Structure 1
Amino acid sequence: MTGEYRSALVGTGCQLPGRVFTNDEFVATIDTSDEWIRTRTGIRERRFALPSETASSLGIEAARKALENCQLTGNDLDLIICATVTPDMMTPATACLLQSALKCRHIPSFDLTAACTGFLYGMSVADQFIRTGTCRNVLVVGTEILSRAIDFSDRNSCILFGDGAGAVILQATKEPNRGIRSVNLFADGERQRFIQVPGMATITQPGEQPIKYLQMNGREVFKFAVQRMVELIHHANEEAAKLGTHISMLIPHQVNQRIIDAALESTGFPADRVMVNLDRYGNTSAASVPIALDEAIREGRAKKGDTVLLVAFGGGLTWGSSVVTL
Structure 2
Amino acid sequence: MKRAIVRGVGHYLPERVVPNEWFAGFLETSDEWIRARSGIERRHFAEEGQTTSDLATEAAKAALANAGLEPDEIDTIVLATSTPDLTFPATATIVQQKLGMTRGFAFDVQAVCAGFVYALANANALILSGQAERVLVIGAETFSRIMNWQDRSTCVLFGDGAGALVLEAGEGEGTPADRGILATDLHSDGRHREILQVSGGVSSSQTTGHLIMAGKEVFRHAVEKLAQSTIDVMAKGGVTADQIDRLVPHQANIRIISRTAAKLNLPMGKIVVTVQDHGNTSAASIPLAMSVAQERGELRRGDLTVTEAIGGGLAWGAILLRW
The TM-score normalised by the length of structure 2 is 0.95
Cα-to-partner distance string for 1:164-193 (whole Å, 9 max, x where unaligned): 000000000013311000000000011111
The 3-state SS of whatever aligns with 2:243 is: coil
Where does residue 184 of structure 1 map in the other structure? 185
Q: How does 1:138-149 map to 2 (within 5 A)?
A: 138-149=135-146
Where does residue 311 of structure 1 map in the other structure? 308
Contact in 1 for aligned 2:241/2:266 (Cα 8 Å): no
Contact in 1 for aligned 2:200/2:208 (Cα 8 Å): no
Deviation at 1:202, TM superposition (A): 4.5
Q: Does 1:214 find its partner at 2:215? A: no
Q: How does 1:48-127 map to 2 (within 5 A)?
A: 48-127=45-124
Deviation at 1:236, TM superposition (A): 4.0
Contact in 1 for aligned 2:241/2:265 (Cα 8 Å): no
Q: Gaps (5+ residues) in structure 2?
A: none
Where does residue 137 of structure 1 map in the other structure? 134
Give, in whole Å, the separation in 2 of the partners of 1:200 and 1:269.
Answer: 40
Runs of 4+ in 1 over 4 A off after TM superposition: 239-245
Deviation at 1:300, TM superposition (A): 1.1
The TM-score normalised by the length of structure 1 is 0.94
Deviation at 1:302, TM superposition (A): 1.1
Give, in whole Å, the separation in 1 of the partners of 2:242 and 2:221.
Answer: 28
Q: How does 1:268-307 map to 2 (within 5 A)?
A: 268-307=265-304
The 3-state SS of whatever aligns with 1:156 is: helix
Give, in whole Å, the separation in 1 of the partners of 2:268 and 2:240.
Answer: 23
Residue 52 to residue 181, structure 1, CA distance change in 2 (3 Å) = same
Deviation at 1:241, TM superposition (A): 4.3
Give, in whole Å, the separation in 2 of the partners of 1:129 and 1:82.
Answer: 14
Give, in whole Å, the separation in 2 of the partners of 1:256 and 1:196.
Answer: 18
Contact in 2 for aligned 1:240/1:247 (Cα 8 Å): no
Deviation at 1:200, TM superposition (A): 4.2
Percent of counterpart pairs with the same letter? 39
Q: Gaps (5+ residues) in structure 1?
A: 205-209
Deviation at 1:211, TM superposition (A): 8.0
Q: Does 1:227 find its partner at 2:228? A: no
Deviation at 1:105, TM superposition (A): 2.3
Cα-to-partner distance string for 1:182-223 (whole Å, 9 max, x where unaligned): 00000001111111124541525xxxxx98311111110010
- Cα-Cα RMSD: 1.7
The amino acid that maps onto 2:166 is I
Contact in 2 for aligned 1:245/1:307 (Cα 8 Å): no
Residue 221 to residue 244, structure 1, CA distance change in 2 (3 Å) = closer
Deviation at 1:296, TM superposition (A): 1.1
Give, in whole Å, the separation in 2 of the partners of 1:180 and 1:245.
Answer: 19
Contact in 2 for aligned 1:162/1:282 (Cα 8 Å): yes
Where does residue 207 of structure 1 map in the other structure? none
The amino acid that maps onto 2:198 is V
The amino acid that maps onto 1:61 is E
Residue 186 to residue 81, structure 1, CA distance change in 2 (3 Å) = same
Where does residue 202 of structure 2 map in the other structure? 201
The amino acid that maps onto 1:194 is I
Contact in 2 for aligned 1:7/1:179 (Cα 8 Å): yes
Cα-to-partner distance string for 1:210-267 (whole Å, 9 max, x where unaligned): 9831111111001011111221333344445449992100000000111112222223
The number of residues matched between the two structures is 318
Q: Structure 2 residue aligned with 1:257, among 254, 258, 262?
A: 254
